[in-house]
Amino acid sequence: MAELAPVRASERITDAVYESLRQAILTGTLPPGTKLSVPSLAERLEVSRSPVREAVVRLTWDRLAVEEPRRGAVVARIDPAELAELYEVREALEGVAARLAVERGESAAVVALEQIVLEHERAAALDNVARHFELDTQFHSWIRRASGNHHVIRALDEIQAQVRLAMVTTTVTSGPRSAVDDHRHILEAMQAGDAKAAEAAARAHIARLKQALRQNLVNTEPA
């Protein structure tokens, strides 16, 4: 049985349990469809059942878990069709985030994004897929936080978590090199202070992967 991340005593117990389970879900330690048995998880994490029960409720609110008849809470499954729908929403929100980040003049974010893109270029050249996904996540996280809009940040945080969950079982991608090129275009627009161009580049970036997902759906449909 796969190990769960240990609960740190320095954290509020419910938050620590939630974070441990969330990471286990996003990394595939608890794969889609896994039953989130409160007694079993409490035993594995060596905590009481109450914080585990609260954590599972939070995971359900985050749509990382769902309630199934006669099974209770299980880790959610995000199929390619649902992932494509998520990308329709993400396309618009990533564009808004990039535009707002430019309009707010977040120079610290631009400096951080420059470093991330440079590291991403090196990772792509080495075909380091794990590092690619890590840097891709960092890039988008910086932009949405630089937007300063809490509603945009919260919505994109939730979507990003669901995308990570989907990637446990979905391998569709437009390729690390394409992602780096798209990130470079977004960064250049932000460096130029062009909010409209930043929004357009961010939307085009997400639209590329959305198209790859749709094409995959067509190719896998029964004949």
The whole-number pLDDT of residue 219 equals 59
pLDDT above 70 coverage of the chain, percent: 89
Query: Domain extents for the chain?
Result: 13-75, 80-220
Regarding the domain delimited by 80-220, which CATH topology (the fold level of the hierarchy) does it fall under?
Four Helix Bundle (Hemerythrin (Met), subunit A) (1.20.120)
Backbone dihedral angles phi then psi of residue 68, each to the nearest 5 degrees: -115, 140
At CA 131, angle to CA 178 and CA 188, rounded to 5?
Answer: 45
In the numeric block, which tokens belong to residue 85? Answer: 């729908």
Backbone dihedral angles phi then psi of residue 67, each to the nearest 5 degrees: -90, 130
- Give the CB-side neighbour count of residue 57, counting CA atoms within 13 A: 8
Angstrom distance (rounded) from CA 28 to CA 179: 23
pLDDT tens by residue, 183-222: 999 999 999 999 999 999 999 999 988 888 777 665 555 4
Share the mean pLDDT of the chain.
89
How would you classify residue 73: left for phi > 0, otherwise alpha for psi between -120 and 50, otherwise beta?
Answer: beta
Query: Right CATH number for 13-75 from 3.40.630.30, 3.40.50.300, 1.20.970.10, 1.10.10.10?
Result: 1.10.10.10
DSSP string of 14-33, one letter each residue: HHHHHHHHHHHHHTTSS-TT
pLDDT tens by residue, 30-78: 999 999 999 999 999 999 999 999 999 999 999 999 999 988 999 999 8
How would you classify residue 33: left for phi > 0, otherwise alpha for psi between -120 and 50, otherwise beta?
Answer: left
Three-state DSSP class for residue 207 = helix
